[in-house]
Amino acid sequence: MKKNLLLLILTLLWLGCSDKKPTAGDDETPIDSNTTDSTIDTSGNQPPISSEISFSPVTPNSTAEAEKLYNFLAVNYGSYTISGVQTGDLNTAATLLEQEDLLAVKNAGGKFPALVGLDFLFANGVEASGSWHQEYTNHSVVLAEELWNAGGIPAFSWHWRDPSHTVDAFYTKGAGDPYTDFDFTKAFKAESMEWDTESETYAQLIRDIDIISELFLTLQGKNIAAIFRPLHECGGKWFWWSTQGGAAYAELFRLVYDRMVNKNGVKNLVWVWNPQKEVFTDAAWNPGADYYDVIGVDIYNNSFDYQSNKQQFIDMQANYGKGKILTLSENGPIPDASLMYADGFVWSWNMPWYESWGSNFVSKTADDVWEANLHSPCVYSLDKMPGWDSYSISQSPVAKCPDVGYKLGDLDTTVQSKPVVLDTANGNGWLHVGIDNMHTQVNANGDTTVPAAANLFLQPPADLSGASTASFVVKNTSFDGVWMSIAVLTGADANPAWEWQMPPDGCWINGESQETCSFDVSDLNMAEMDKIFIMVATEGYTGDLYFDDFTSDKGLIASFDNEDDIPTREEAGAEAYVKTLAIIGGK
């Protein structure tokens, strides 16, 4: 999760997923894990992308189930790809196939995915003992068991909350609210990267790792294996485990592996290491090939962009060689199978982030594209899985999938956006900001000439001294999310001195949603500002934004009820990308 993605968990809603149940007429219910769809040909020995891939996992003395799971990934790698989806909101009273995120895929494409992402994000932290948190964690284990018994693949992430229990958070400052500044390197001995096993911080880390170990040991005791992706998206600065540099991160990854595998006896996992593309070339982040089976990257393209992401595949092989399975461990729209096979770069699996909690990531792929992919003979959906009881270990790759069965260009990929509905009663107005392809522009030397950002400034009221909060309502009509913030500028007349100030946290608006963005301005000079800005900054964003009632706890900033409230575009980004500034409705 993903990615920017990392601002995706915004508000945790109470339970209430759809209670729609699969009917007897659905083509994959009931599920028979002992049958194999005839469209998946596992005979032959045509080599996959690389003949360097091991057919056994890195964990010594792995369980028979982990051997099967890894072997299935290895022999199919480069020949077939596996469909997936991440779960968010879980209905603890519902079965696996009744969960909102799985139903979103089924309703879009007619089949359930073979791989399901689960998350131990409530298993640790200061609030972990709460009944709701416990129910969520325990039901994740229940769903993993149900999925395995149906022939599918459980894939666990771990949004590891502050081990010190100072705050219930995994984000760093500026990435989410609440946030943590937990520093795991306090568990090192002075001026070294050797663990101080007597330190309080080390004890906190070990306590949490042991809790996760027990959850996996529960599955191990039931002869169930799973994929595990700890400390994900390394190199990004939005999680606490990725703030102390590559070498320290790698030590932490090795600690998690060693404690779980060698001390606690967790032997039922396929391990995924998940670097950000920005650190592909930095070897310090790599914990070592003996500590993981798969390398995953998280890529969130714009809605309905189904590219194969072959460049990232090429870059990963260039930096990490061809001895590991490569996968798209998080994504927005799915990488289309016909494009992957045409380009010759086939990820082991892909896993769109969840539809629930208002994130709508399943909806970033058109229904026809979902249907074509899930029904393709080259893509494993849940009904095409061989069944773990009947699966036999192989030392040969399966034959290359001969024909995807469709072309993306032949599909109806049209998606209807929702109509824009604005409350303009009683003279209420909205500021319309139309943005076209916001992206960073560079010159031949690689220098940024136009940033992927736009600043829109307003002349503030005379005095907002003492203001502690500011907010506005914003409606995002694009399918894609967008980040925004505010800023104040002082010193236009050199008194006080020139200064650009921003609140500590921005605001992420999901696609096709309306939010009230609130900002902490208590440390900003609201009394002597010369300009106040609305800032929009998201690479690749295209869409229409509508703003209403920009206000503070000390007075109104702009109502957007008349043309006097239209802001001014400032700097290259706004000039390049902001195509519309107008008042809708108003007096």
Q: Please say if the pLDDT value at position 263 is more than 60.
A: yes
Pairing of strands 555-558, 541-552: antiparallel
Q: What is the widest separation between alpha-carbon atoms in the chain?
A: 78
Q: What does the alpha-carbon distance between residue 211 and residue 470 come to, in Å, rounded to a whole number? A: 41
Structure-token match 């009931």, residue found: 30
Q: What does the alpha-carbon distance between residue 147 and residue 117 come to, in Å, rounded to a whole number? A: 11
What proportion of the chain, given as a percentage, has pLDDT over 90? 81
**Tokens found for residue 445:** 């030397």
Backbone torsions φ then ψ of 75, nearest 5 degrees: -75, -25
Could you tell me the end-to-end alpha-carbon distance of the chain, in angstroms, rounded to an integer? 43
Q: Exposed e or buried b for every residue in 462-484, given b needs 16+ CB within 10 A?
A: eebeebeebbbbbbbbbbbbbbb
pLDDT at 105: 98
Q: Please say if the pLDDT value at position 448 is more than 70.
A: yes
Q: Is 389 exposed, middle or buried (0-12, 13-18, 19+ CB in 10 A)?
A: exposed
Distances (CA, A) of 463 to 85, 460, 531, 549: 50, 8, 12, 18
Q: What does the alpha-carbon distance between residue 552 and residue 459 come to, in Å, rounded to a whole number? A: 14
Q: Please say if the pLDDT value at position 333 is more than 90.
A: yes
Helices 200-221 + 131-149 axis angle, to 10: 40
Predicted confidence band of residue 491 (pLDDT cuts 50, 70, 90): confident
pLDDT at 44: 37
Q: What does the alpha-carbon distance between residue 14 and residue 93 come to, in Å, rounded to a whole number? A: 13
**Cα 134–chain centre separation:** 23
- Average pLDDT for residues 41-62, to the nearest whole number? 70
Predicted confidence band of residue 316 (pLDDT cuts 50, 70, 90): very high
pLDDT at 460: 87
Average pLDDT, the chain: 90
Question: In the sheet that 325-331 helps form, which strands lie side by side, from edge to edge?
Answer: 84-86, 115-119, 153-157, 226-229, 269-273, 294-299, 325-331, 350-352
Q: Name the more confident of 418 and 54.
A: 54
CATH domain 34-389+400-410 topology = TIM Barrel (3.20.20)
**Tokens found for residue 23:** 């009917």
- Average pLDDT for residues 230-241, to the nearest whole number? 97
Q: Name the more confident of 33 and 164.
A: 164
Q: Say which residues have a Cβ less than 8 Å from residue 102's Cβ, sequence separation at least 6.
A: 85, 87, 96, 112, 113, 116
- Average pLDDT for residues 246-268, to the nearest whole number? 98
pLDDT at 419: 87
pLDDT at 47: 39
Q: Please say if the pLDDT value at position 21 is more than 50.
A: no
CATH number of 425-585: 2.60.120.260
Question: 347-390 pLDDT, tens per residue?
Answer: 999 999 999 998 999 999 999 999 999 999 999 999 999 999 99
pLDDT at 51: 63
Q: What does the alpha-carbon distance between residue 116 and residue 98 come to, in Å, rounded to a whole number? A: 13
What proportion of the chain, given as a percentage, has pLDDT over 70? 90
Question: 142-168 pLDDT, tens per residue?
Answer: 999 999 999 999 999 999 999 999 999
Cβ(110)–Cβ(381) below 8 Å: no
Question: 178-223 pLDDT, tens per residue?
Answer: 999 999 999 999 999 999 999 999 999 999 999 999 999 999 999 9
| Span of 89-103, 184-198, 395-409, 480-494 with lowest mean pLDDT | 480-494
Question: 104-139 pLDDT, tens per residue?
Answer: 999 999 999 999 999 999 999 999 999 999 999 999
- Average pLDDT for residues 414-439, to the nearest whole number? 92
Q: Name the more confident of 463 and 9.
A: 463
Q: What is the reported pTM? A: 0.85
Cβ(150)–Cβ(346) below 8 Å: no
pLDDT at 2: 39
pLDDT at 340: 97
- Average pLDDT for residues 231-246, to the nearest whole number? 97
pLDDT at 18: 31
Amino acid identity, residue 551? T
Query: Closest Cα to residue 296, out of 332, 324, 258, 263?
Result: 324
Cβ(398)–Cβ(77) below 8 Å: no
Q: Please say if the pLDDT value at position 556 is more than 60.
A: yes
The domain locations on the chain are 34-389+400-410, 425-585
Question: 492-533 pLDDT, tens per residue?
Answer: 665 566 789 999 889 999 898 999 999 999 999 998 888 999
Q: Please say if the pLDDT value at position 445 is more than 80.
A: yes
Q: Name the more confident of 442 and 2.
A: 442
pLDDT at 494: 56
- Could you give the angle at the alpha carbon of 245 between the alpha carbons of 242 and 248, nearest 5°? 90
